[in-house]
Structure 1
């Protein structure tokens, strides 16, 4: 059986495997989820490792397997909090009686129970245990608590069990579980498409934050951009069904759930990463980054020592990232941003034409109540003339709300393309 693996290529599944003989089915489940195109990372409890090895899941998923909460190597890469944010869904299969009890009582003494408390993603349980353990009042009480908390419990199948008993407690077949997952995301994507328009299934690349242009190993030229608007847009685009790649300058912000982040420092690095993403495929390019206009011509190899009252530094003009992307043969839908302190709308309209953009959003960063350091913003949106759309004034609101309105504007323009 073959599937269009691009459909769910922006969806991330954590498959958590707990102790039980049904753990062997989880290896097949990884393959079935991968067949649908999902990105899969596996978390294993100590009990699970008694039944099947992490190496098996590493080979099947193509990713390292997560087994320890306090793992120095893992924390240097994808730590447990980052892993919790990465997931679009956590599927625990098999879910042991012990794990269910931990979840219901809020314990966090291993990686999996900590992920359960730390994630905003939906959590699904596929219980697998002896039929008497399933029927126990304590187990049913724990399951009822989890259902009330919003956890989705997949009923076990009935039949012969490894212990020789017959009854409820068998983990459903991997093919059935994988199909339930893909149906859930199909329904979610349809709902998002109906609500937000054409971003469902689009690949969106966003630049955000400032760039840093080194003077020497300890000094640099930069600006006041915090990246908040770009990160809010990344989250809004992902919620609208897009696969989002966020190219971030040096900012102190958490990666939005489901978003793939690429960290850069300088304008040249941001352009290189933007071109790479363009070559990998890009439907919409949103340039919110406050890119430094100039860089230092000759970066000092060592720290420049203080000497005299003046320091002369020669500057070179940086590449214009959004204009460069807009000039490419396979150009995506181009969205620019204009942060100005005067004649805001006039400058923005000029940039729209000069840089051959499809849409531009402008704001007045001289206002103390909006802009770089604020959690709120207000913008005016202009569209290229051929879209036949009037300019839009987005009144002052949270950057999350402004981001949602910008997503709707992009979707409208794409609809008129």
Structure 2
């Protein structure tokens, strides 16, 4: 396989030498294109010695061979590592100011970016927009690892290990765009709306009626959908974790705000996943002033009213408009002496009419806020229930995989 390996100007460039070795030892022919800035970290001689090919980053070298055209056309795969914030920005904008970016514009095969940068740069809105743009075009942009960065800082932005990038690259080629596998892009070109977190219903300016949802599962689902190539909207109520870079973020507080956002976003969504914990009830009245505790005044009585059933409305809207759309609900359930968790969940699935219902049992020290979880995924069309367990990232990957399979089938 002919591989073009682009090397960005970041300190993680030294790790790419190991990635190059993995490619060459697997029998692949690799042409390295280091950016001019990367030469400050790793010299040209290293790339030539490890690849066995001449190395250049100048469009005026070997002009008669029109290198950017030849390399771009002949490449079975282009891998860029480390993909700095600057490189991602230039690639998203379609700039062609050096040999690597001109080669990227000529690429007709799969392209994979392995980002590495400081956390604030990765989480910056500009970088998030650039990543989203590249993913919409069918480019694979891996999530950076979380760990020690330059200096004493830690966080998201660390270059994935060379073995991980190597596996991702080969999986991308073997499965093909739209294929299956952990690094394929089965949701490329699809729009996925995901709600996450817990709504808060105000009692007064300082108090609210809320729930224990952390938003971790919804964020994991958003990251998994991004990884599968989707254009992701995240409708975020209160969350204990940040939204992943690359999503279109819509922030809400109350169930009514979430309802309006979800109904609007669903109009052009291929998939809607309602992972948020939406309050079933809200106070009938919200005081404009703080409710004060007074000895000579009776304790306040809070009257609650039912919130709209957002999931049910989404299903009804889909039926009314004839949209071809997959709708996924979440159910946090407890059992009792009458029925167990799955009995209640199956009844809920029939009432709601969504395609999939992801069910978890809640209670003291279960699910909310934890990193490990276990769910059962019920299918309205009668497929056998599927159990997924592990980290919330693992569960998110399982849910997105099932969604991808259903989209492919329809």
Q: Say which of 364, 378, 383 aligns to 2:379.
A: 383
Consecutive unaligned residues in structure 1, runs of 5 or more: 1-90, 107-123, 162-169
Residue of structure 2 in register with 1:81 after alignment: none
Q: How far, CA to CA, are the matches of 1:181 and 1:299 in structure 2?
A: 58
Q: How does 1:355-394 map to 2 (within 5 A)?
A: 355-366=352-363, 368=365, 370-385=366-381, 388-394=382-388
Residue of structure 1 in register with 2:35 after alignment: 127
Q: How far, CA to CA, are the matches of 1:139 and 1:366 in structure 2?
A: 57
SS at 1:229 equivalent: helix
Q: How far, CA to CA, are the matches of 1:265 and 1:273 in structure 2?
A: 11
Change in Cα spacing, 1:157 to 1:376, as seen in structure 2 (3 Å) is: same
User: Offset of 1:178 from its aligned partner?
Assistant: 2.4
Q: How far, CA to CA, are the matches of 2:315 and 2:403 in structure 1?
A: 16
SS at 2:179 equivalent: helix
Cα offsets for 1:49-84 (capped at 9, x unmatched) = xxxxxxxxxxxxxxxxxxxxxxxxxxxxxxxxxxxx
Q: Say which of 264, 267, 281 aligns to 1:294.
A: 281
User: Offset of 1:143 from its aligned partner?
Assistant: 7.2
1:268 has 2:256 as partner = yes
SS at 1:245 equivalent: strand
User: Offset of 1:416 from its aligned partner?
Assistant: 3.9
Residue of structure 2 in register with 1:401 after alignment: 394
SS at 1:393 equivalent: strand
Q: How does 1:75-86 map to 2 (within 5 A)?
A: none
1:158 has 2:67 as partner = no
User: Offset of 1:138 from its aligned partner?
Assistant: 7.9
Answer yes or no: is the 8 Å Cα contact 2:34–2:100 preserved in 1: no
Q: How far, CA to CA, are the matches of 2:258 and 2:48 in structure 1?
A: 49
Answer yes or no: is the 8 Å Cα contact 2:57–2:100 preserved in 1: no
Answer yes or no: is the 8 Å Cα contact 2:14–2:42 preserved in 1: no
Q: How does 1:47-58 map to 2 (within 5 A)?
A: none
SS at 1:193 equivalent: coil
Answer yes or no: is the 8 Å Cα contact 2:222–2:247 preserved in 1: yes
Could you tell which deviates more after superposition, 323-332 or 375-384? Answer: 323-332
User: Offset of 1:181 from its aligned partner?
Assistant: 8.9
Q: How far, CA to CA, are the matches of 1:251 and 1:203 in structure 2?
A: 22
User: Offset of 1:216 from its aligned partner?
Assistant: 0.9
Answer yes or no: is the 8 Å Cα contact 1:295–1:316 preserved in 2: yes
User: Offset of 1:321 from its aligned partner?
Assistant: 1.1
Q: How far, CA to CA, are the matches of 1:291 and 1:205 in structure 2?
A: 16
Answer yes or no: is the 8 Å Cα contact 1:230–1:289 preserved in 2: yes
Q: How does 1:125-204 map to 2 (within 5 A)?
A: 127=35, 139-140=43-44, 155-158=57-60, 171-172=98-99, 176-180=103-107, 183-184=110-111, 186=138, 188=140, 191=176, 193-196=178-181, 198-204=186-192
TM-score normalised to structure 1 length: 0.59
User: What do you get for the CA RMSD once the two structures are aligned?
Assistant: 3.6
Q: How far, CA to CA, are the matches of 1:317 and 1:341 in structure 2?
A: 20
Q: How far, CA to CA, are the matches of 1:199 and 1:278 in structure 2?
A: 16
Q: How does 1:13-412 map to 2 (within 5 A)?
A: 100=9, 127=35, 139-140=43-44, 155-158=57-60, 171-172=98-99, 176-180=103-107, 183-184=110-111, 186=138, 188=140, 191=176, 193-196=178-181, 198-279=186-267, 281-307=268-294, 308=297, 310-328=299-317, 329-331=321-323, 332-342=325-335, 343-366=340-363, 368=365, 370-385=366-381, 388-394=382-388, 396-412=389-405
Q: How far, CA to CA, are the matches of 2:217 and 2:196 in structure 1?
A: 8
Change in Cα spacing, 1:356 to 1:178, as seen in structure 2 (3 Å) is: same
Q: How far, CA to CA, are the matches of 1:346 and 1:367 in structure 2?
A: 21
Answer yes or no: is the 8 Å Cα contact 2:236–2:249 preserved in 1: yes
Answer yes or no: is the 8 Å Cα contact 1:192–1:239 preserved in 2: no
SS at 2:224 equivalent: helix
Answer yes or no: is the 8 Å Cα contact 1:101–1:142 preserved in 2: no
Cα offsets for 1:194-237 (capped at 9, x unmatched) = 22584232211011110000111111000001111111111111
Answer yes or no: is the 8 Å Cα contact 1:192–1:241 preserved in 2: no
Answer yes or no: is the 8 Å Cα contact 2:192–2:233 preserved in 1: yes
SS at 2:276 equivalent: coil
Cα offsets for 1:275-325 (capped at 9, x unmatched) = 22123x100111111100111222111212112452112222111111111
